[in-house]
Amino acid sequence: MNRAFIDTSAILRMLVQDDDLKAKAVENLIRTAPEKGLVLHVIPVTILEIVWVLEKVYKYPPAAVRELAEAIINTPQLKVELAGVFLNALKVYEEKNVKFADAVMAFWALEKGITTTYTYDEKDFKRINGLTVLKPTLSVIR
């Protein structure tokens, strides 16, 4: 088995279809990877970058961003690290208007059994069930 990772730029060509030749090449790569003995990995930063680019550069609404990102995460030919974390994060990103990166951090923590976060960015984290949100404060050390 050969292993490789697939970069954000390649996945985006397929998702946004802004270059037909490149989009078809990426689709072919993904579709034929298993028969060629190739495992294609998608690392966490790739999913974060896909969401950011779709939202900020292409101005896709959250529902469309979620649909496209979920399509990548659920592609059986791709091995996506932290897939469950990302699927949960995409749900609250769209449904509760939580910043995607904050949602990813929260669901990563919850998956690890960590239920408390210290932050000054309380608004988004308070929208995530199961998470206790605290502010760092100065305390008197005796």
Average confidence (pLDDT) over 44-68: 98
The reply to whether 47 falls in a domain is yes
The reply to whether 125 falls in a domain is no
**SS3 letters for 38-60?**
EEEEECHHHHHHHHHHHHHHCCC
Structural domain containing residue 92:
2-113
Spell 8-28 as b/e; 16+ CB within 10 A means b: bebbbbbbeeeeeeebeebee
For residue 64, the 8-state DSSP code is H
The reply to whether 142 falls in a domain is no
The reply to whether 136 falls in a domain is no
Statement: the pTM of the whole predicted model exceeds 0.75: yes
The number of folded domains in the chain is 1
Distance CA 63, CA 15 (A): 14
Task: Yes or no: say if 43 and 6 are a contact pair by the CB < 8 Å rule.
Answer: no
Least confident of 27-31, 47-51, 114-118, 135-139: 135-139
Average confidence (pLDDT) over 49-74: 98
Residue 10 maps to which CATH number?
Answer: 3.40.50
